[in-house]
Amino acid sequence: MVFLKLQSYRQVSLATRKNAKLSARFYGPFEVLDKIGKVAYRLKLPSSSRIHPVFHVSVLKQKLGDSRTVLETLPTVSNDDALLPVPQAVLDQRKKKGRNEVLIHWRGLSPAESTWESQEVIKEQFPEFTLEDKCAL
C-alpha cells in the first residue's frame, strides 16, 4: 500500500483550490498491482479517477502502520475539472454578519474537511437536500 502525491496546480484531473497551500498533498492508500521497470509502479485506482495508473517512485510514499487515513479516495471531478461535492449532513449552524451559515459534511470526505456554507447557496445548488430535517434551523 502506498500514498500518491498529486499536485493540483500541475494535475489537470484535480480541481484547483483557492489556497493551494492547504490542499491535500497525498491521496490513498492505494494497492500496488505490479512493478513496471525499475522506478515505476501500477496502482489500483478507483474507477472514477481520470488519471493514468502508472507512477514514478518519486510521487509514491509507502504506507506505514495500520492507522486510518484522512483521504481514501481521489476527489470526484466533472468533465470541466471542477470538484463535485455532495452534502451528506449538516453538523452545525451559525449566523455570521446577518447571514445564516451551515457546517456541511461532504460525502466522501472526512468530517475534518467540513466547510461553512451559506444556507441560501446550499438551497440553490442542492434543492433535493433539505436543511430543515438535518439541523434545527
pLDDT given for residue 57 in this prediction: 94
Cell of 76: 470526484
Place of cell 468533465: 79
Residue 69 lies in a domain: no
Q: Taking 70 as the threshold, does the pLDDT of residue 122 lie above it?
A: yes
Report yes or no on 134 lying in a domain: no
26: domain range?
2-62
Supply the CATH number for residue 111's domain: 2.40.50.40
Question: pTM of the predicted model, to two decimals?
Answer: 0.45
Asked if the structure places residue 80 within a domain, the reply is no
Q: What is the domain count for the chain?
A: 2
101 lies in some domain: yes
pLDDT for 48-90, tens place per residue? 777 889 999 999 998 887 766 555 455 555 555 555 678 888 8
62-88 CB burial, b ≥16 within 10 A, e <16? ebeeeeeeebeebbbbeeeeeeebebb
